[in-house]
Amino acid sequence: MQSAFTFRQIAGKNSKFLPDQKLAFNGKTLDISEVVVMGIINLTPDSFYKGSRIQHFDQLIRQADQMLEDGAHCLDLGAVSTRPGSDFVTAEEEADRLLEPLQLLHKNFPETWISVDTYRQSVSRQAIAEGASMINDISGGTFDEHMFAFIADNNIPYVMMHLVGTPETTHNHTLKADEIIENVRQFFEKQVNKLLKLGATQLVLDPGFGFGKSLAANYNMLTGFERFNPWDFPILVGVSRKSMIRKVLGNDTDNALNGTSVLHSWALQQGATILRVHDVKEAAECIKLWQFMKQVLHEQND
């Protein structure tokens, strides 16, 4: 029986997994040598941010077009809400919500990298067949035992998110600031080992801001991704308009954009690779300012 990869072994082979700093699938590539903006498109009637809910197909195309014009490098479609208290959705209902919009986006924006936010292998298989290029799994492979084999067998780009519990219970967990890093590190070590041994080569890590963490734990994770990412895999940061902002500022979701931009700026400084956002233009502006600042500092140090 092959032994599990150690952190040191995997980190030393990192260039094998992400050649040329690009993800590739379904005839498309996503350049991750620079920071990527991922625009969120919600196909659910109960997403926590009302402004992101899609009501009809014309709105879907307009929103996607606007996001791409504003600077999105990819789009992330989700058909199941993960907000606290959301209703359970069957795999059949999720697929019914997802596949026709995915087909429309693929038809209207054939060159666009499309990610699908699902934790089900059956839905992932259908989405990939309809033109999706990446699977964004909030469970990190823990909700569906068949997910990893499907990802690895087809070498599909895969976002592995840290989560505690089940879809129904994750928001009942509140990992504390002093335990969060070790918990996330152990989770990724276990799940990454499983996936890499199956032969997967295109992996992105998401620490799962807002999923089963205390307020302080969420901010602790923002102070250094290397503590739970010794492989130096790309990091996806999803803090857009979340309660970790609203609880500190004492505002609501509609007024959480400014706080989101502040945290995006901090995440960029910590090495974020992908920003998953509701507000593409503002995220793109954060990146542009951050890149300009880096350039100025580099020129001063030469």
Q: Which residues are marked as active site?
A: 242, 276
Beta-carbon contacts of 203 under 8 Å, excluding residues fewer than 6 positions away, are 17, 157, 158, 160, 192, 195, 196, 233, 234
- What's the half-sphere exposure (Cβ side, CA atoms, 13 Å) at 230? 18
Residue 302 pLDDT? 76
Smallest Cα–Cα separation from 41: which of 244, 277, 210? 277
Give per-residue pLDDT as tens, 172-206. Answer: 768 999 999 999 999 999 999 999 999 999 999 99
Residue 46 pLDDT? 55
From edge to edge, which strands make up the β-sheet containing 203-206? 203-206, 158-161, 134-137, 113-117, 74-78, 36-42, 274-277, 236-237
Residue 57 pLDDT? 86
Residue 49 pLDDT? 47
Residue 86 pLDDT? 62
Residue 11 pLDDT? 37
Which of the residues in the chain have pLDDT under 70?
1-20, 46-55, 83-86, 167-168, 170-171, 173
Residue 50 pLDDT? 55
Contact between residue 275 and residue 37 where contact means Cβ atoms under 8 Å apart: yes
Instruction: Report the alpha-carbon distance of residue 203 to residue 77 in Å, rounded.
Output: 18
Domain boundaries, given as residue ranges, for the chain? 7-301
Four-residue CA torsion sign, 260, 31, 82, 161: negative
Number of CB atoms found within 10 A of residue 144's CB = 18
Give per-residue pLDDT as tens, 99-152. Answer: 999 999 999 999 999 999 999 999 999 999 999 999 999 999 999 999 999 999
The DSSP secondary structure of 264-285, one letter per residue, reads HHHHHHHT-SEEEES-HHHHHH
Residue 55 pLDDT? 65
CATH class, domain 7-301, is alpha beta
